[in-house]
Structure 1
Amino acid sequence: MLEKVHKNHAFQRSVRMCHVVVIGSGITGVTSAYELAQLGYQVTVIDKHLFPAMETSFANGGQLSACNAEVWNQKSTVLKGIKWMSRKDAPLLLNPSFDLHKYAWLMEFLGNIKHYQSNTHETVRLALLARERLFSIAEQEGIDFNLEKKGILHFYHTEQDYAVATSVNNMLCDGGLERYAVTPEEMKSIEPTLTGEYYGGFYCPGDATGDIHKFTTGLAKATEKYGVKYLFGMEVVDVQHHSKGVTIQYRASMENMQGGAAAFEELQADAVVVCGGVGSYELANKLGDRVNVYPVKGYSITVQLDDERSIKGAPWVSLLDESAKIVTSRLGENRFRVAGTAEFNGYNRDIRSDRIQPLIDWVNKNFDISTEHSVPWAGLRPMMPNMMPVVRRGKRERVFYNTGHGHLGWTLSAATAVMISQEVASHHPV
């Protein structure tokens, strides 16, 4: 069971330990490494960057949000994307240029509309389990990541939006979530910095916020005491599967090259777990699997609260403005994270000023905060067409996947890490 607390048997065995290689050191990779180490596996993590959590796990919205478990598989989502194509500041932006992967993904997305309710319920279940496990890990390992257990407040500006949200709320609560309606007056008592006019809202008291980068780097450091090794600045070139194990071929990445061509190196293991984010699509193809991850770009700003007025004016309760599709998180006394938008534009990682400006404008409109010092960021969410993470064994006996978490990697990873570690254990016991 997911609630089971793992015991580390790493030093209780005199025989050779089963060696598992994890590809990727974002939130899913590091949590997977942690859970595998707790079960007694020898674990090596490979990442092309020089440090953990340098891509999608670097500066997301910060919400540990079971209340955002609703999957996006509705016709209205695609219709909004088409409607907003001409608006550069639209919450959802779909680049219409032809790309076979993108349009095949969209067709598969539409094909999963029939699973909208069941997938939402399953996501709620995973999110609640993940929330409990993450809190437990953070306490056990002493990780400081600006955790705030103040809940998440969604607010709505119109009666129409609120009516739609009410039906969604009923579905989320049917899935086991504690979330209830609040009046505009109650909203302002929950978060006194709110100054706008609202029709109504919903509050999820059990949800939380935290700095995903600080948690991931802190957990990576903690895993080292359980014997986890990291190969940073190394890019996986190939994975060869054979009867007695896997051979991972890698070389220095562009970040790690000192000039000239990098030599190939090899690493032997009993199994491999792919936690490669948007890179999982290509890796899976090499391994004979179809993991239809598509990159959906999101943007954030981190507002530095440098003066007393801004420190007092920034909310501590996490917010979601449903009309703007913008979320907020307070990361300690001096940082305020604001994130939003979904952009279907391939593997483009450019930070566009016309996508950042709406976030800054939203802060200026809603709070008495100076946005003079705001750090922009963009990351690619690894999203599956059914909006569900891929947590399973591949076609080959020694290949496993924990990837495709989309916009809920921070929310779900603590659960899926336990699931994939148990899946590995069922096929390749320590």
Structure 2
Amino acid sequence: MPHIAVLGAGITGVTTAYALSRRGFDVTVVERHRYPAMETSFANGGQLSASNAEVWNHWSTVLKGIKWMLKSDAPLLMNPSPNWHKYSWMGEFMGNIGGYRTNTVETTRLAIAARKHMFEIAEREGINFDLEKRGILHVYYDKPSFDHASKVNTMLTEGGLDRRPVTRDEIKTIEPALGGDFYGGFFTPSDSTGDIHKFTRGLAEACAKRGVKFLFDAEIQDVKPGQTTKVYWKPAETTNSEINVLSVDGVIVCAGVGSRTLASMLGDRINVYPVKGYSITVHLDEEQSQRGAPWVSLLDDRAKIVTSRLGANRFRVAGTAEFNGINRNIRQDRINPLVGWVRTLFPDVSTSRVVPWAGLRPMMPNMMPRVKTGSRPGVFYNTGHGHLGWTLSAATAEIVAELVEQKHKPSKSRAA
């Protein structure tokens, strides 16, 4: 039975391990943390959002980034200090503006396919992850932004998405708790939300029951592909410097922002850049807060903020993009706009108990996930999902598992 190592135990790595296991492979997941889903898959915005499939490669994004560069509370913030990786990545980003429409349509199709896979997995394995199938409502404050959204909508509908415009009165009907004076919006009834951390942990448990092995607290030192691929690792955050070796038939890189370094060990270039995002989890401890928080998921286009209701007692609010390298520090001046947004639009929600978080989105310059074989035998990639890892991973896991299956036929299927 072919033995495949999956490097990374976030949402992408765990869904990949599950897809491989169902095809009959022997799978070992290597993760530097003690548990799955402890980085970017820990506390994201929660949206499973085909309606947010528009890629960022557009001149309007570049112009907004320049305008916001000196505002610490801006939705998009870039540290202007010289850094070759950052500026070369941005050069490639602008070079992909020509693929804006094609990539947006393709991302929409991929997101719709992923939704089907994820719901099937959750039902099959009995995973409870605070799933809410109430749709996603995008809101716009003025006609120009609404008109741009209308153009985007033609691409999303071309990709197969059911997304319709709504008036300001319909916005209030769809989500009565929402305050604010809006010009109009778009509503996608088929989109949903859920807790990525709960899902990933639940799926990891299901994988373990199927025989998938998890190697936690394992810092990868090197990976050497060949007829037998060797993964060199040592225990993380200990004084033990002993190098251990895991010998496998193939390896799949699903390591988020760490994928670039691992790819270089394998002789490939995967130009992932870490784009930091922030979230707050508002604990709804009082009945008034529970009534005052929305159940329908929201996307405020002007503030670049998304929301998810995670059960009766939690309200997740996330947003912003920060280009500042591998930096996981939580900045209060980036958290304050999220808290202020809640206070403004949901005045009945108490923000007395708010938990902040920051995570690094692994973004490719063209905003598309990198799902491919490597330049050397037995090497595969499923990474670079950016802000849509939660939305797309269930589909890209199937794609990369099929690539592995074409190269390494397992002895028998264990799909039951």
Q: TM-score range by the shorter chain?
A: over 0.9
Q: Which amino acid aligns with 1:365?
A: T
Corresponding residue number in structure 2 for 1:4: none
Correspondence for 1:417: 397
1:16-63 C-alpha deviation (Å, 9 max, x unpaired): x11000000000000000000000000000100000000000000000
RMSD: 0.6
Of 381, 390, 395, the residue aligned with 1:401 is 381
- The corresponding residue for 1:135 is 119
Partner residue of 1:344 out of 320, 323, 342: 323
Rounded to whole Å, the distance in 2 between the matches of 1:222 and 1:386 is 33
> 5+ unaligned residues in a row in structure 2: which ranges?
411-416
Q: Which runs of 5+ in 1 are unaligned?
A: 1-16
2:23 aligns with 39
Partner of 1:54: 38
Query: Alignment partner of 1:136: what SS?
Result: helix
Q: In the TM superposition, what is the alpha-carbon distance from 1:261 to its structure 2 partner? A: 3.5
What pairs with 1:89-128 in structure 2 (closer than 5 Å)?
A: 89-128=73-112
Return the alpha-carbon distance in structure 1 between the equivalents of residues 169 and 241 of structure 2. 62
Q: Is 1:76 paired with 2:60?
A: yes
Q: Find the partner of 2:230 among 224, 242, 247.
A: 247
> In 2, distance between residues paired with 1:384 and 1:191?
34
Q: Distance between the aligned counterparts of 1:199 and 1:52, measured in 2?
A: 42
| AA aligned opposite 2:208 | E
Q: Structure 2: which amino acid aligns with 1:125?
A: R
Output one character per residue of 1:354-393: Cα deviation in whole Å (capped at 9) or x when no partner: 0000000000000020000000000000000000000010
What secondary structure does 1:202 align onto? strand
Q: Corresponding residue for 1:181?
A: 165
Q: Deviations over 1:125-167 (max 9, x none)?
A: 1000000100010000000000000000000001111111111
Is the partner of 2:225 in helix, strand or coil?
Answer: strand
Secondary structure, aligned partner of 1:216: helix
Matched, 1:275 2:254: yes
Distance 1:390 1:141 in 2: 27
Q: Which residue of 2 aligns with 1:201?
A: 185
- Which deviates the most, 31-40 or 195-204? 195-204
Per-residue CA shift, 1:242-267, capped at 9, x if unaligned?
A: 2x22011110111xx2xx33211011
After superposition, the C-alpha distances for 1:76-115 in whole angstroms (9 at most, x for unaligned) are 2111111101110000001111100000000000110111
Partner of 1:290: 269
Residue type of the alignment partner of 1:378: A
The residue type equivalent to 2:128 in the other structure is D
**353, 356, 380: which one pairs with 2:335?**
356
Q: Provide the C-alpha distance between the structure 1 equivalents of 2:243 and 2:176, rounded to a whole number of angstroms.
A: 57
Determine the C-alpha separation between the residues in 2 that align with 1:79 and 1:251.
45
TM-score (norm: length of structure 1): 0.94
Equivalent pair of 2:234/2:240 in contact (CA under 8 Å): no
Q: Supply the AA of the counterpart residue of 2:230.
A: T
Question: Which one-letter code corresponds to 1:216 in the other structure?
Answer: T
Report which stretch shifted further, 74-83 or 418-427: 74-83
Q: Which whole-Å CA distance do the structure 1 matches of 2:109 and 2:272 have between them?
A: 22
**Residue 234 (1) aligns with residue 234 (2):** no
**Match of residue 313 from structure 1:** 292
Partner of 1:385: 365
Match of residue 11 from structure 1: none
Measured in 2, the distance between the counterparts of 1:78 and 1:184 equals 29
Under a length normalisation based on structure 2, what TM-score does the superposition of the two structures give?
0.98
User: How far did 1:314 drift?
Assistant: 0.4
Give the length in aligned residue pairs.
409
Q: Distance in 1 between matches of 2:240 and 2:190?
A: 51
Deviation of the 1:74 alpha carbon: 0.9
- Counterpart in the other structure of 2:413: none
Runs of 4+ in 1 over 4 A off after TM superposition: none
